[in-house]
Amino acid sequence: MTDQPAGAEHPDRRRRHPLVSMLIEAAIIIGLAVLISFIVKTFLLRAFYIPSESMEPALEVDDRIVVNLLAPGPMDLDRGDVVVFEDTRQWWGPDQAPETNPAQDAMIFIGLMPDTSSHYVVKRIVGLGGDTVECCDEQGRILVNGEPIDEPYISPGRSPSDSEFSVEVPEDHVWLLGDNRGASADSRAHVHEPDAGAVPVDDVIGRHMSTVWPFSRFGGGVSDNEPFSDVPEPAEASRAVAE
């Protein structure tokens, strides 16, 4: 065995150049950030932007929002929830997604940029599976299972609906309206289709959790369940009618 000269540094103990160490650490941090962002975007939270005025005043054009992906799922959906759903039936027409470059596509994929696809739509749930949703009573209010709803979130100057309808929401579906009723192509426009304008729960991506941009509009969820607190369940409404 050849003895190593005294004071010589063992090859395995040579220190890396500071710049190399910094680059390695930066790569690890960036990699972890991307991984965490992808996990969050896939299982917990997801960002979207608002492309139209259909949900004003709660959500305005170009707002950036974050939705909770646990609803539906571990958390239940409820009347009054504002949700994002995938337009699987092309209610808003095909091939309407804005152009993006590869870098933007990558950032959207890993969750570092809001999804700009026009095939995702944001509306408010007014009816759950089994509910009967009608327009309107003598005061112009929408009824759910016979209970009139006072809707404080409707855009000022707009009526609850300018068109009459009466639908029974299929099971495992939700029936949705925009808050800016005169500028919202929502479930009312599809009441004559097989599902009466309802959207399958499986198409719902998540419930609005927060508006994050612009900072002047930063705030919590815009869902409002209180107006529906007195709505009877479908079976109770049916029994009351029979009596």
Question: What residues are labeled active site?
Answer: 54, 123
Placement of tokens 């890396």 in the chain: 16
Count of CB atoms situated within 10 Å of the CB of 175: 30
DSSP-derived 3-state class of residue 120? strand
Count of CB atoms situated within 10 Å of the CB of 100: 15
Three-state SS letters, 28-95: HHHHHHHHHHHHHHHHCEEEEECCCCCCCCCCCCCCEEEEECCCCCCCCCCCCCEEEEECCCCCCCCC
